[in-house]
Chain A
């Protein structure tokens, strides 16, 4: 196992899940493209990080106590300028076990969820679906055994009821299916390789445009250690 991957997993063992900055780092090791981000632990670092990411940006809280960031107001989209960022930083720092702020580039595109899960009957399975907050309501997803072949990945994408949203619905530009397919294949290999350590992964959302498919948020749930 790559030492960076091993470290990310070992460091998060007691927490049970891998926080976003480490998770994204891990994805990059496996060649999955993520949004451009900076992890800042002080306001000074944040303000200089913002130069790199560029306004407007997305700010997310980093805290080992917060797994569902948006549930506690830990995600602010469209941070405009230094003043706005300073205010957001102050708000976030009041959240439990505050460990900094993650500055993420603002991306648009069709939201897709990609995930994995260790299934007791079929081993590691991957899921792809039309994402966004309503994914658990509409459940427009396809599930396949990992690892996936490029053909299998494309077939999974096309099997979605909402596939038309990806192939250009009502004059919208089609997303880059090749990039999305490659991301899914690469992800399925990673999930399969990490199956002993990781129980479930969410890449949610993955933002798809005509040029790229980029992971904007990621969460790795580690396997419970057998006592």
Chain B
């Protein structure tokens, strides 16, 4: 089904606005789109009347213009008739915000919508969802803008069964400086599911990385999902919930007792081109790494640190994640030593992790980074920086970033995320180098890049 007009509509009708309650979801959605998005937005309520001086139309058919997308926030029982009315009026698709379908036992209503949609090739997102965030065209989230953290524009597309988790991830990515292309909450996925969204985002020019939160595939759709992922040139990161085995089932074969739902999921995803993040932190880290380093390879890693402890935690993490820490040949250690500040030449430890010590300055980090970027035995660098050390200045990000243009190798940074160090972090992030807010986060980014190459 063609989702173009659902994600980039020119005209929208919001059905179910309230003339008296400003917190009514449809009213919030109408206001948002009317005031802030590019699509021309109309509102519908069978009672008619006026809302903030604008005409409230009694039906979709009454709107004097062809509507691309209908957003429905009305009682579940009224949805099928309204969908029929949309189809009759030549609407190109719908988002059903309303709940009250399969999640409350009304599978019949959901089936009815599905049948209408499939028969008429009429794409439907939802029901029971937040819908679509696709700037500058549409934002169907019924959450007032002032309550949200405004995402920055970028290349990560998010798909989520849960609206709440979706908004959380949008906030977290924004706080990590990761920009979004679009986000879709698919709710009960009566028609459009993860596979359809994946198909769309694979071809979407604005999207470079696809992040998916999912609770489970229905009716063996996991098969189609794996096929799509394996034929995707864009990285796909999956965060799964529902890992807890659901009660004891009557099991009479060994295979059935071993092959529980999550175990199968995880095993099959591991073999696919998708990257399964084990938790939210890893999910955000992977989205961040791929949005800044979409093509870089990572296999043999060099860790450059300003403290031995940080280096040790990073190498433990790398070991656990199965990453290779490059061995530095002794002649190289000798040459690097001569290039460093006199004050650290005899205290720096130049076996990987490269511990520059707390006395190192910007020049030392820049020198060491360049030195290893030039070596064939290093594919990527994890840089662990502590802005409280006196020799470091906020120039370091911009200086290191010069190399990302010269060498096609990955640089991943860790800087503690406190407001005070914002200027250090921006120096990297605004120049295209991802900054993790924990050492583990930096390792997760590296591990994501490595897993992508399998």
Are B263 and A122 in contact (CB-based, < 8 A)? no
Interchain nearest-CB distance for A70 vs B (Å)? 12
B258 at the A/B interface (Cβ < 8 Å)?
yes
Q: Judging by beta carbons under 8 Å apart, are A123 and B223 in contact? A: yes
How many residues of B are in contact with the other chain, CB < 8 A? 24
Cβ of B264 < 8 Å from any Cβ of A? yes
CB distance from B227 to the nearest CB of A (A): 10
Contact B255 A145 (CB under 8 A): no
Determine whether the beta carbon of A117 is less than 8 Å from that of B263. no
Are B268 and A125 closer than 8 Å at their CB atoms? yes
Complex interface: chain B residues within 8 A of A120 (CB): 216-220, 261
Does A47 interact with chain B (Cβ within 8 Å)? no
**Residues of B contacting A121 in the complex (Cβ-Cβ under 8 angstroms):** 216-218, 220-222, 261, 264-265
Tell me whether A221 is interfacial, beta carbon within 8 Å. Answer: yes
**In the assembled complex, which residues on chain A have CB atoms less than 8 Å from the CB atom of B271?**
144, 155
Name the B residues within 8 Å of A142 (CB-CB). Answer: 267
Which chain B residues in 211-230 approach chain A with CB under 8 Å?
216-223, 226
B257 within 8 A of partner (CB): yes
Q: How far is the CB of B253 from chain A (nearest CB, A)?
A: 4
Interface hit among A53-61, A77-85, A199-207: A199-207
- Measured in the bound complex, the distance between the Cα atoms of B223 and A76 in whole Å is 42
- Most chain-A Cβ atoms within 10 A of its Cβ — which of B217, B218, B222? B222
Among A67, A116, A122, A155, the residue within 8 A (CB) of B255 is A116
What is the distance, in angstroms, from B102's C-beta to the closest C-beta of chain A?
A: 15
- A119-B264, A122-B223, A122-B264 given; A113·B254 CB < 8 A: yes
Is there contact, CB below 8 Å, between A145 and B226? yes
Max count, chain B CB within 10 A of own CB: residue among A117, A144, A219: A117
Contacts of A19 in B (CB 8 A): none
Quick one: which of B178-220 are within 8 Å of A by CB? Answer: 216-220
What are the residues of chain A within 8 A of B261 when measuring CB–CB? 119-121
Distance A139 CA – B216 CA, assembled complex (angstroms) = 23
Which residues in B have their C-beta under 8 angstroms from that of A143?
259, 263-264, 267-268
Chain B residues within 8 Å of A202, by CB: 253-255
A120 to B256, CA, bound (A): 12
Q: Is there an interface contact between B222 and A122, defined as CB atoms closer than 8 Å?
A: yes
Q: For residue A114, give the distance in angstroms from its CB to the closest CB of chain B.
A: 8
Assuming A121-B217, A144-B267, what are 8 further A-B pairs, CB within 8 angstroms?
Answer: A115-B254, A115-B258, A117-B253, A127-B259, A136-B257, A144-B271, A155-B271, A221-B252
A-side interface residues toward B, CB under 8 Å? 17, 67, 113, 115-117, 119-123, 125, 127, 129, 135-136, 139, 141-145, 155, 199-202, 204, 219, 221
